[in-house]
Structure 1
Amino acid sequence: MKEKNESKEKNKTRNEDKNEGKIIRVLEIYTRLLNGAVINKEEEAERYGVAKRSIQRDIDSIREYLRRTDNKSGVYDLVNYDYRKKGYCLEHIYKVKLKSSEILAICKILLESRSMTKREMTDILDKLIECCVPLENQRVIKDLILNEEFHYIEPQHKTVFIDKMWNIGQAIREHQYIEIEYKKMKGKETVTRKLKPVAIMFSEYYFYLTAFIDDKKLREDFNILNDSFPTIYRMDRIHSLKILKEKFNIPYKDRFEEGEFRKRIQFMYGGPLRKVRFKYSGISVEVVLDRLPTARILHEDESGYTIEAEVFGEGIKMWIRSQGELISEVSYR
């Protein structure tokens, strides 16, 4: 009996030593990864006197630890195999992941935008969740958007244009002219335009191309006083696109700033820059200030607010009409 107990104690001691040896080995490998070392399985197996599969399990344990670590600094560590270095390296990925709450917000915004076909929207939502959300939270987010995704109503045009939009973005970046065939809203006529593309924008369910017309005679048919005002085209109505080798130049001081343009345009209707002044008698003036980012309150009294804003084009008239009796005393200059 005494010999049996002694044998059990020895086995227990050996197992403890083995476990302790494994812990030390994993910590040493992890420390060397942190210090920039390349971990080769064959070399590590020889170093510690274990099988290569033991080293692989150690690396998998480190990967699992890193996956479970909630790093709130926005820096994420990954252990990847580098074929050039013939070993495992630690990579620091900065802000590669969004929080689950942020992904949920993005999914809700995308669904509300109704900007793409149902298939496109579903594919993008699935990829966002699978790539950016920890496995244990993926089901939660899918459940929270399930009903809205199921009842999603795609836009009437049913056009797939994301790749076309990317190509236009490349042309904007490289300052290349483009030629498009565009189906006009009125009369259903298809026209050809040579353009200087300057921005891609989104508003009210649609993506738009903002561009300058190259033909001076054509510009006379538009509500454009000079080269300062671009024309606007709905992406889904661009039937064909050709990226031209010819490049254009816009001096830096004259560059188109879509952020400033976006503040001043309503419903993506182009036209000259002007100021509008009106009286608002609604309950919440925040509705106006959020809709018109350039708006400022000139006067406030019991009857309401006198507001002035700087705007582009005719879209402001559509918005004012939509407010009914809440807006009065409108003037433009």
Structure 2
Amino acid sequence: MNAAYRQLTIFQLLISQHIVNKAALADQFQVSLRVIQRDLSQIRQFIAEQNLFYKLVYRRQFDGYQLITTQTSVSKQAVLVLIKIALASRSLTTAEMTQTIDGLLQLLPLADQQEIRPIIKNERFYYQPVHHGQDLLANIWELSQFITQQQAVTITYQKQHREIVVRTILPEAIIFSEYYFYVIAYNAKYDSNLFYRVDRIRHLQTTSQAITRTRAQRVEDGELRRLLHYMQPGKKMTLQFKFWGIVEAALDRFPTATVIKEYPAEKAVLIEATVFSWGAKMWLLSQGANVQVVAPQSFVDDFQAELKRMADRY
């Protein structure tokens, strides 16, 4: 066995989280302790020259050498939480969810992986993705690159009722909400920022068409996330509603919300929030008799009309 192969074998042991003992290695490879020491020095030099996120250290209590990472690593607790969130989202196909979970687990030492696998085993077995059946990871990454490069693209898009259209857009942000990934993009034809579900994009390609926007037309996805609900835009507005439900749930749903008045006798509060109207209306309707919209009057009228249309169904 030549020196290069011997050093590669030792490095493979180290990177597999083994602690290597010089005497044991010398016996295994039938060489002297000095040769093994030289091998370890060569490995240490290789790590330094290649700027790898590792350091070779001697563990006195084990009388051996160990490779430790110098990069800040993610904790097993964080990986478990991320996997749980991913599974609950139901947003990826079974194959892509498997790929994502296995990739996250590979960030951890083998012992931590083995600790997490039984915890998620049942959820992985019964995982049921949403019904679109489209692989998303490649498209999401590609769209993210177009956002960074401010590159316009032409997409073939399947609308809600299966109509196929072609749109030239400038992708600006990608947001996940309620099981689906959306790309928010400026459409020059409609002079508006519109929402496209990523799973409904059947084809996309770059275009030489230049799309420019004013500063006011640009999307700030962090700010948008505070105001947008159920990926339904509508008109930006400040509303007030009286609420008899769990206050924390309402404040969590609307990040801009504050309690401006309390009604202890009724066990209710008055909440004010800046929102986009359509998504806000969908959530408020879901709360049934726990909600009374107070202002603005135009929204109250719209809410009452919607309630009448609902009642007429029965």
Deviation at 1:172, TM superposition (A): 0.8
Structure 1 match to 2:285:
321
Structure 1 match to 2:54:
77
Q: Indicate which of 215, 229, 248 corresponds to 1:286.
A: 248
1:144–1:61 CA distance, 2 compared to 1 (3 A): farther
Structure 1 match to 2:150:
175
1:99 aligns with 2:62: no
Structure 2 match to 1:85:
none
Matches within 5 A, 1:1-333: 51-57=34-40, 77-78=54-55, 93-95=70-72, 97-130=73-106, 132-185=107-160, 187-215=161-189, 219=190, 230-250=193-213, 255-282=218-245, 284-302=246-264, 303=266, 304-332=268-296
Q: Which amino acid aligns with 2:287?
A: Q
Contact in 2 for aligned 1:113/1:205 (Cα 8 Å):
yes
* Alpha-carbon separation, structure 1, partners of 2:167 and 2:232: 18
* Alpha-carbon separation, structure 1, partners of 2:283 and 2:45: 57
* Alpha-carbon separation, structure 2, partners of 1:78 and 1:204: 43
**1:7-56 CA distance string (max 9 Å, x none):** xxxxxxxxxxxxxxxxxxxxxxxxxxxxxxxxxxxxxxxxxx96544432
Q: More displaced, 241-250 or 284-293? A: 241-250
* Alpha-carbon separation, structure 2, partners of 1:240 and 1:176: 16
* Alpha-carbon separation, structure 1, partners of 2:129 and 2:293: 39
Contact in 2 for aligned 1:176/1:246 (Cα 8 Å):
no
Deviation at 1:252, TM superposition (A): 6.0
- Aligned residues between the structures: 249
**1:77-132 CA distance string (max 9 Å, x none):** 346xxxxxxxxxx998442x2011111111111111111001110111111112x1
1:205–1:78 CA distance, 2 compared to 1 (3 A): farther
1:210–1:313 CA distance, 2 compared to 1 (3 A): farther
Deviation at 1:246, TM superposition (A): 3.7
Task: Show structure 2 runs of 5+ residues with no match.
Answer: 1-31, 47-52, 57-66, 299-314
* Alpha-carbon separation, structure 2, partners of 1:62 and 1:104: 35
Alpha-carbon RMSD: 2.8
Contact in 1 for aligned 2:44/2:55 (Cα 8 Å):
no
* Alpha-carbon separation, structure 2, partners of 1:211 and 1:128: 30
Paired-residue identity, %: 34
Q: Is the radius of gyration larger for structure 1 or structure 2? A: 1
* Alpha-carbon separation, structure 2, partners of 1:94 and 1:202: 29
